[in-house]
Amino acid sequence: MRRKVRELMEGYLREILEIAPTEEEENAFVDSLGGDTYGIVTEGDGQMDYRLPFIHETWRRKWNGRTHIDMGISHHLMLDKNAAPMFIEFIRQRRKVGARRRSKYYHVTPSRNIRAIKRVGLRCTNGVVYLWDSQEHALEFFAAEAYPGEPLSVLEIDAGSSIQIQIDDGYIDGIDAGHGHAFYTFENIPPSRIRVLGKIRRGRC
Protein backbone atom coordinates (compact mmCIF):
# COMPACT_ATOMS: atom_id res chain seq x y z
CA MET A 1 0.00 0.00 0.00
CA ARG A 2 2.71 2.51 0.99
CA ARG A 3 4.69 1.59 -2.15
CA LYS A 4 1.68 2.50 -4.28
CA VAL A 5 1.31 5.79 -2.45
CA ARG A 6 4.98 6.51 -2.97
CA GLU A 7 4.73 5.76 -6.71
CA LEU A 8 1.65 7.99 -6.94
CA MET A 9 3.47 10.86 -5.22
CA GLU A 10 6.50 10.43 -7.45
CA GLY A 11 4.19 10.88 -10.44
CA TYR A 12 2.72 14.04 -8.94
CA LEU A 13 6.22 15.33 -8.22
CA ARG A 14 7.22 14.86 -11.86
CA GLU A 15 4.14 16.79 -12.97
CA ILE A 16 4.88 19.65 -10.58
CA LEU A 17 8.48 19.85 -11.76
CA GLU A 18 7.29 19.90 -15.37
CA ILE A 19 4.79 22.74 -14.90
CA ALA A 20 7.23 24.65 -12.63
CA PRO A 21 4.64 26.77 -10.79
CA THR A 22 5.61 30.36 -10.08
CA GLU A 23 5.47 32.10 -6.70
CA GLU A 24 2.42 34.03 -7.88
CA GLU A 25 0.64 30.79 -8.80
CA GLU A 26 1.50 29.20 -5.44
CA ASN A 27 0.12 32.25 -3.64
CA ALA A 28 -3.05 32.12 -5.74
CA PHE A 29 -3.50 28.45 -4.79
CA VAL A 30 -3.16 29.28 -1.09
CA ASP A 31 -5.67 32.12 -1.47
CA SER A 32 -8.09 29.76 -3.21
CA LEU A 33 -8.17 27.58 -0.08
CA GLY A 34 -9.59 30.41 1.99
CA GLY A 35 -9.06 29.51 5.62
CA ASP A 36 -9.11 25.76 4.98
CA THR A 37 -5.33 25.31 4.88
CA TYR A 38 -4.84 22.80 7.69
CA GLY A 39 -2.38 20.10 6.66
CA ILE A 40 -1.58 21.86 3.38
CA VAL A 41 0.02 25.18 4.31
CA THR A 42 2.31 25.62 7.29
CA GLU A 43 5.06 27.90 8.49
CA GLY A 44 8.58 26.83 7.52
CA ASP A 45 11.25 26.32 10.12
CA GLY A 46 13.55 28.87 8.48
CA GLN A 47 16.14 26.20 7.76
CA MET A 48 14.76 24.13 4.92
CA ASP A 49 14.69 25.42 1.34
CA TYR A 50 11.40 24.42 -0.27
CA ARG A 51 11.88 26.15 -3.63
CA LEU A 52 12.71 22.83 -5.29
CA PRO A 53 9.85 20.38 -4.59
CA PHE A 54 10.77 17.06 -3.01
CA ILE A 55 9.03 14.06 -1.46
CA HIS A 56 9.02 14.01 2.34
CA GLU A 57 8.22 10.70 4.02
CA THR A 58 6.91 11.04 7.59
CA TRP A 59 4.69 7.92 7.63
CA ARG A 60 5.10 6.22 11.02
CA ARG A 61 7.81 8.72 11.92
CA LYS A 62 5.61 11.39 13.48
CA TRP A 63 2.01 11.91 14.61
CA ASN A 64 -0.26 12.11 11.54
CA GLY A 65 2.76 11.41 9.34
CA ARG A 66 2.27 10.82 5.64
CA THR A 67 3.98 10.76 2.27
CA HIS A 68 3.80 14.27 0.83
CA ILE A 69 5.55 16.81 -1.38
CA ASP A 70 7.27 19.70 0.36
CA MET A 71 7.50 22.85 -1.74
CA GLY A 72 6.87 26.57 -1.75
CA ILE A 73 8.48 29.99 -2.03
CA SER A 74 6.36 32.39 0.04
CA HIS A 75 4.56 29.50 1.75
CA HIS A 76 5.52 26.01 2.85
CA LEU A 77 3.13 23.67 1.05
CA MET A 78 2.69 20.04 2.10
CA LEU A 79 0.88 18.27 -0.72
CA ASP A 80 -0.30 14.73 -0.02
CA LYS A 81 -2.10 12.33 -2.38
CA ASN A 82 -5.25 14.46 -2.13
CA ALA A 83 -3.76 17.96 -2.20
CA ALA A 84 -1.13 17.34 -4.91
CA PRO A 85 -3.58 16.63 -7.78
CA MET A 86 -5.74 19.52 -6.55
CA PHE A 87 -2.73 21.84 -6.74
CA ILE A 88 -1.71 20.61 -10.21
CA GLU A 89 -5.23 21.01 -11.58
CA PHE A 90 -5.52 24.51 -10.08
CA ILE A 91 -2.32 25.63 -11.84
CA ARG A 92 -3.31 24.09 -15.18
CA GLN A 93 -6.80 25.60 -15.12
CA ARG A 94 -5.48 29.00 -14.07
CA ARG A 95 -3.07 29.02 -17.00
CA LYS A 96 -5.79 27.98 -19.45
CA VAL A 97 -8.00 30.85 -18.30
CA GLY A 98 -5.08 33.24 -18.67
CA ALA A 99 -4.43 31.98 -22.18
CA ARG A 100 -8.07 32.45 -23.18
CA ARG A 101 -8.19 36.01 -21.86
CA ARG A 102 -4.97 37.18 -23.46
CA SER A 103 -5.11 38.69 -26.93
CA LYS A 104 -1.63 40.21 -27.36
CA TYR A 105 1.43 37.98 -27.70
CA TYR A 106 5.03 38.52 -28.72
CA HIS A 107 7.41 36.81 -31.08
CA VAL A 108 11.12 37.48 -31.58
CA THR A 109 12.77 36.70 -34.91
CA PRO A 110 16.02 37.53 -36.73
CA SER A 111 15.65 40.98 -38.33
CA ARG A 112 16.45 39.43 -41.73
CA ASN A 113 12.98 37.80 -41.66
CA ILE A 114 10.99 41.03 -41.27
CA ARG A 115 10.54 41.76 -44.98
CA ALA A 116 9.03 38.32 -45.62
CA ILE A 117 6.86 38.50 -42.48
CA LYS A 118 5.39 41.82 -43.62
CA ARG A 119 4.53 40.16 -46.92
CA VAL A 120 3.18 36.75 -45.90
CA GLY A 121 2.98 36.83 -42.09
CA LEU A 122 4.27 34.19 -39.69
CA ARG A 123 4.08 30.78 -41.32
CA CYS A 124 4.00 27.40 -39.56
CA THR A 125 7.04 26.19 -41.49
CA ASN A 126 7.78 23.61 -38.80
CA GLY A 127 4.15 23.00 -37.99
CA VAL A 128 3.92 25.55 -35.18
CA VAL A 129 4.45 29.23 -34.31
CA TYR A 130 5.72 29.99 -30.80
CA LEU A 131 4.64 33.09 -28.89
CA TRP A 132 5.27 34.62 -25.45
CA ASP A 133 3.36 36.79 -23.00
CA SER A 134 5.95 39.58 -23.21
CA GLN A 135 8.84 40.58 -25.43
CA GLU A 136 11.14 40.25 -22.42
CA HIS A 137 10.19 36.60 -21.96
CA ALA A 138 10.48 35.89 -25.68
CA LEU A 139 14.07 37.09 -25.57
CA GLU A 140 14.94 35.63 -22.17
CA PHE A 141 13.60 32.12 -22.69
CA PHE A 142 14.29 31.42 -26.30
CA ALA A 143 15.45 33.96 -28.87
CA ALA A 144 18.75 34.91 -27.26
CA GLU A 145 19.83 31.26 -27.18
CA ALA A 146 18.23 30.18 -30.45
CA TYR A 147 19.75 33.05 -32.46
CA PRO A 148 23.09 33.88 -30.82
CA GLY A 149 24.73 37.00 -32.21
CA GLU A 150 21.99 37.79 -34.74
CA PRO A 151 20.14 41.15 -34.86
CA LEU A 152 16.63 40.50 -33.57
CA SER A 153 13.27 42.20 -34.01
CA VAL A 154 10.22 41.89 -31.80
CA LEU A 155 6.70 41.42 -33.14
CA GLU A 156 3.41 42.06 -31.39
CA ILE A 157 0.70 39.58 -32.34
CA ASP A 158 -2.97 40.47 -32.02
CA ALA A 159 -4.49 37.00 -31.81
CA GLY A 160 -7.99 38.24 -31.09
CA SER A 161 -10.48 35.38 -30.88
CA SER A 162 -9.92 33.92 -34.35
CA ILE A 163 -6.44 32.45 -33.79
CA GLN A 164 -6.37 29.46 -31.43
CA ILE A 165 -3.55 29.81 -28.89
CA GLN A 166 -2.41 27.11 -26.48
CA ILE A 167 -0.03 27.30 -23.55
CA ASP A 168 3.29 25.47 -23.68
CA ASP A 169 4.52 23.92 -20.43
CA GLY A 170 7.76 22.42 -21.63
CA TYR A 171 10.78 22.95 -23.78
CA ILE A 172 11.17 24.09 -27.38
CA ASP A 173 13.97 22.41 -29.31
CA GLY A 174 15.66 21.61 -26.00
CA ILE A 175 15.56 25.23 -24.84
CA ASP A 176 13.65 26.28 -21.72
CA ALA A 177 10.47 27.87 -23.09
CA GLY A 178 9.58 29.65 -19.87
CA HIS A 179 6.90 27.77 -17.94
CA GLY A 180 3.67 29.72 -17.89
CA HIS A 181 5.01 32.34 -20.30
CA ALA A 182 5.20 30.41 -23.60
CA PHE A 183 2.35 29.74 -26.02
CA TYR A 184 1.93 28.22 -29.45
CA THR A 185 -0.45 27.99 -32.38
CA PHE A 186 -0.75 25.63 -35.33
CA GLU A 187 -2.17 28.42 -37.47
CA ASN A 188 -0.44 30.82 -39.83
CA ILE A 189 -0.59 34.41 -38.58
CA PRO A 190 -1.41 36.94 -41.33
CA PRO A 191 0.43 40.28 -41.68
CA SER A 192 -2.72 42.14 -40.59
CA ARG A 193 -2.32 40.59 -37.13
CA ILE A 194 1.36 41.52 -36.78
CA ARG A 195 2.97 44.77 -35.70
CA VAL A 196 6.75 45.16 -35.86
CA LEU A 197 7.82 46.89 -32.65
CA GLY A 198 11.44 47.31 -33.69
CA LYS A 199 14.89 45.88 -33.24
CA ILE A 200 16.11 44.60 -29.90
CA ARG A 201 19.37 45.58 -28.38
CA ARG A 202 21.03 42.68 -26.67
CA GLY A 203 20.55 42.82 -22.93
CA ARG A 204 17.38 44.91 -23.13
CA CYS A 205 14.00 44.96 -24.89
What are the residue ranges in the chain where pLDDT is below 50? 174-177, 203-205
Let me know: does 107 contact 129? Beta carbons within 8 Å: yes
Q: How far apart are CA 169 and CA 72, in angstroms?
A: 19
pLDDT at res. 170: 53
pLDDT digits (tens, 9 = 90+) for 155-180: 999 887 667 777 665 555 544 445 55
The pLDDT of residue 165 = 75
The Cα 41–Cα 158 span in angstroms is: 40
What is the reported pLDDT for 196?
A: 94
Asked if 6 and 67 touch (Cβ cutoff 8 Å), the reply is yes
Please state, in angstroms and rounded to a whole number, the distance separating the CA atoms of residues 89 and 83. 10
- Which of helix, strand or coil describes residue 54? strand
Positive or negative torsion for Cα 41, 45, 48, 51: positive
Give dist(CA 6, CA 46) in Å, integer. Answer: 27
Distances (CA, A) of 47 to 8, 23, 42, 91: 28, 19, 14, 27
Domains and CATH numbers, the chain: 2-98 (no CATH), 102-200 (3.20.170.30)
- Return d(Cα 40, Cα 84) in angstroms, integer: 9
How would you label 8-17 residue by residue, b for 16+ Cβ within 10 Å and e otherwise? Answer: ebeebbeebe
For the entire predicted model, the pTM comes to 0.48
pLDDT computed for residue 156 by the predictor:
94
Specify the pLDDT at position 185: 84
Cβ–Cβ under 8 Å, residues 181 and 132: yes
Q: State how far the Cα of 64 lies from the Cα of 127, in Å rounded to an integer.
A: 51
Return the pLDDT at 116: 94
